[in-house]
Amino acid sequence: MQTLWTHISEQSETVTTSAWTLLVLGVLLSLSIVVDTISRRTALPRISLLVLVGVGYALIQQGLLGHDAEPLNGLREPLINLALVMVAFLLGGELTWSRLKSTGPLIIALSVAVVIGSLVTVFAGLWLLGYSLVVAVSLAAISVATDPAAVSEAVAESDEKSDSKSDAKSDEKSLVARVILGIVAIDDAWGIIVFGLCMALLSWIGATSGEASLVHTVWELGGAVLLGLALGFPAAWLTGQLKPGRPTQAEALALMLLMAGFSSYLNVSALLTAMVAGFVIVNVSSHHTRSFNEIEQIEWPFLVFFFVLAGASLKLAHLSTALGLVGAYIVLRSIGRYLGGYLGVLAMRRREPRLKTNIGLGLLPQAGVAMGMALLAAERFPEQGQLIVATVVTSTIIFELFGPLLVKRVIANPGKSDAY
């Protein structure tokens, strides 16, 4: 018995990195089952609970164990990218021609209003509070991005719990949900454009290579569109050739991996690539629902890793220096989203009178795209980098915890008072 215990102890000391990674992945998926059970019995969204799991991971790792290794080692970035690609692909599939004809102008007008509201409010507020131009402009540009994964998951949860009756109120809920998903589907495209232009502006002001920054922005967007078309059209043709089942699932997963891999290799926006591909497939293929259904079936485990890793990104060492800026950014971004949505709905009141002016509160969640922008800003302006990254990561956790609750509330109560 003693020999067996000694052997087990020796083996535990030599556990490989791959074995530890597999164990962590298994534990996270097991916890997601517990989270789902708690969510069904309470009013708390699964997203918020998963982010809290990630925060707990960060507290144990950095606070108790005293080290700050990257969660899941080298798997963190691929898992996040793949989850975001899946979400963006499904959101692109929401943009059918018929839907664009009926709600397209409305979605574009509201998205522009929310973008301008966020950008102006965050920049003006931080500038008046005395923060540097780099911090104010960078965070204003980052504030434009929305987390498509959190919003779409909150909408899905709201649909699951909504009544199946086809009355006026349910139609109103459906309209609000469609408009929010439509805005999110193009919101990150606006975010990438705004962020690239803001970085170019800061580079010109700082007498660095503004031209190179502008070229990079054009390539990131234009290259993403070209890549989405290049992958979307063959995938649309292939979708009609395969029968439902395992081959279709393999085809759908292969497309997700190709989009994530090629966009990373070519340094273009993976989100925009996936949205363009989804848009092409849904409008070209006669069997488009097969690929989207398969992605919906396998999407959840990747979203589990995404949300947990978002919470695990919290850096306790930089938290104290950024608390004031975090508070200001959260308040200003919330005001900007609300004001943008309020003014946008008022401007489009004649076209769609059923929308309420609180719709901007359904666009508060923020995660992977914002974190990526923060890292890019930190690389370009290293003297302000830690402050920007700490602010975005910490505020992201807050937005991921409370944002989905507001998304569900906006959708569930479209006909109630706008006051919140």
Q: Which are the contacts of 55, defined by CB distance < 8 A and separation ≥ 6?
A: 311, 312, 314, 397
Is the pLDDT at 15 greater than 60? The verdict is no
Report CA 343 to chain centroid distance, whole Å.
Answer: 24
Predicted pLDDT at 417: 42
Q: Which of 131, 71, 52, 141 is nearest to 336 (CA)?
A: 141
Is the pLDDT at 28 greater than 60? The verdict is yes
Predicted pLDDT at 56: 81
Q: 57-86: per-residue pLDDT in tens?
A: 877 777 676 666 666 666 777 887 888 788
As a whole number, mean pLDDT of residues 349-360 equals: 76
Note the residue count of the chain: 420
Q: Which are the contacts of 188, defined by CB distance < 8 A and separation ≥ 6?
A: 88, 145, 146, 148, 269, 271, 272, 369
Is the pLDDT at 2 greater than 60? The verdict is no
Poorest-confidence range of 175-184, 241-250, 376-385? Answer: 241-250
pLDDT band at 124 (very low <50, low <70, confident <90, very high): very high
% of the chain residues with pLDDT over 90: 5
Predicted pLDDT at 123: 92
CA 135/CA 128 separation, integer angstroms? 12
Q: How many other CB atoms are there within 10 angstroms of residue 320's CB atom?
A: 9
Q: Which of 200, 196, 209, 198 is nearest to 268 (CA)?
A: 196
- Token code pair at residue 390: 């700490």
CA 329/CA 120 separation, integer angstroms? 12
What mean pLDDT, rounded, does the chain reach?
Answer: 76
95: left (phi over 0), alpha (psi -120 to 50) or beta: beta
Q: 281-305: per-residue pLDDT in tens?
A: 888 876 656 667 777 777 778 878 8
Does residue 155 or residue 143 have the better pLDDT?
143
As a whole number, mean pLDDT of residues 100-127 equals: 84
137 in any annotated domain = yes
- Burial tier of 373 (Cβ tally within 10 Å: 0-12, 13-18, 19+): buried
As a whole number, mean pLDDT of residues 137-146 equals: 87
- Token code pair at residue 197: 């232009």
167 in any annotated domain = no
CA 141/CA 196 separation, integer angstroms? 9
Predicted pLDDT at 213: 61
CA 277/CA 288 separation, integer angstroms? 11
41 in any annotated domain = no
Predicted pLDDT at 331: 92
CA 105/CA 30 separation, integer angstroms? 43
219 in any annotated domain = no
Q: What single letter denotes the amino acid at residue 300?
A: W
272 in any annotated domain = no
Q: Are 191 and 373 in contact (CB under 8 A)?
A: yes
Q: Are 295 and 90 in contact (CB under 8 A)?
A: yes
pLDDT band at 25 (very low <50, low <70, confident <90, very high): confident
Domain span including residue 116: 77-159+179-209+299-412
- Burial tier of 315 (Cβ tally within 10 Å: 0-12, 13-18, 19+): middle
What SS3 state is found at 336?
Answer: helix
Rounded (10°) angle between helices 76-92 and 148-161: 60
71 in any annotated domain = no
Q: In sequence order, what E strands does 180-322 have? A: none
Instruction: Name the DSSP class of 360.
Output: G
349 in any annotated domain = yes
Does residue 352 or residue 181 have the better pLDDT?
181
Instruction: Name the DSSP class of 60.
Output: I
Query: Per the structure, how many domains does the chain have?
Result: 1
Predicted pLDDT at 413: 64
320 in any annotated domain = yes
Rounded (10°) angle between helices 288-312 and 270-284: 160
- Burial tier of 172 (Cβ tally within 10 Å: 0-12, 13-18, 19+): middle
Q: 234-259: per-residue pLDDT in tens?
A: 888 776 565 555 556 777 888 888 99
Predicted pLDDT at 6: 54
User: 331: domain CATH number?
Assistant: 1.20.1530.20
Q: 301-333: per-residue pLDDT in tens?
A: 887 887 787 777 667 766 777 788 889 999 999
pLDDT band at 48 (very low <50, low <70, confident <90, very high): confident
pLDDT band at 227 (very low <50, low <70, confident <90, very high): very high
This prediction has a pTM of: 0.69
Predicted pLDDT at 418: 46
Predicted pLDDT at 128: 92
